[in-house]
Amino acid sequence: MMTKERTIYLLLSDTGTVLNRLIKCYTGQPYNHASIAFDVEMTEVYSFGRKVAYNPFIGGFVREDLHSELFKEAACAVYALSVTPDQYQRMYRYVQRIAAQQERYRYNFIGLFGVMLNTPTKREHAFFCSQFVASVFIEGKVMDHVKDPSLIEPGELPYFADCRLLFEGKIEEYQTKIIHLSNFNTLLNSGCSII
């Protein structure tokens, strides 16, 4: 019996914040924030980032609102990853376990320096955005331990998992053009991209 595949979404974004700009100076990549979503409408988007809109130093596990001021002008790349129902559930449960204990988790600022020095940082209950997404991918067995999660930059994630680019542009455009397409599932299943 064939099991029906599910889809998860990798969102890479450039929010234009001071921290994002600093990271961009180091990486030279267009997108320096990574999030994972469990639905194409992106109502369930998770990451590690700022918990208070105007204070980058208060960070941790976040359920992101793409309609918020932080993402209002953000540029993004949206990738799709086909997974089995079991992989989907493993990843979703992993994220929900962290969400249930989110007060224990912090943003891994020290880990950002570890990336710069190519030195893995092991901190309990602390992630930066791409480290978190990589750990979700590893939990779901959609990505091997090709590199320590604490060294993975956002732009590397699509290559470590079998992601395909669906959209590139402003988040606002994604929300108006992509999620309102009535035949989106047909398009997605055909392997097409909208870029």
pLDDT in tens, 37-69: 999 889 999 999 988 766 667 889 999 999 888
Residue 194 lies in a domain: no
Confidence of residue 15 (pLDDT cuts 50, 70, 90): confident
Structural domains of the chain, count: 1
Residue 188, pLDDT > 60, answer: no
Residue 1 lies in a domain: no
Residue 195 lies in a domain: no
What distance, in Å, lies between the first and last C-alpha atoms of the chain? 35
**98 Cβ neighbours under 8 A, 6+ residues apart:** 61, 105
Residue 152 lies in a domain: yes
The confidence score (pLDDT) of residue 61 equals 97
Residues 138, 145 contacting (CB under 8 angstroms): yes
More confident residue, 178 or 113: 113
Confidence of residue 182 (pLDDT cuts 50, 70, 90): very low
pLDDT in tens, 123-165: 899 999 999 999 999 999 998 777 899 999 999 999 998 899 9
Range of the domain at 69: 6-189
Residue 79 lies in a domain: yes
More confident residue, 122 or 84: 84
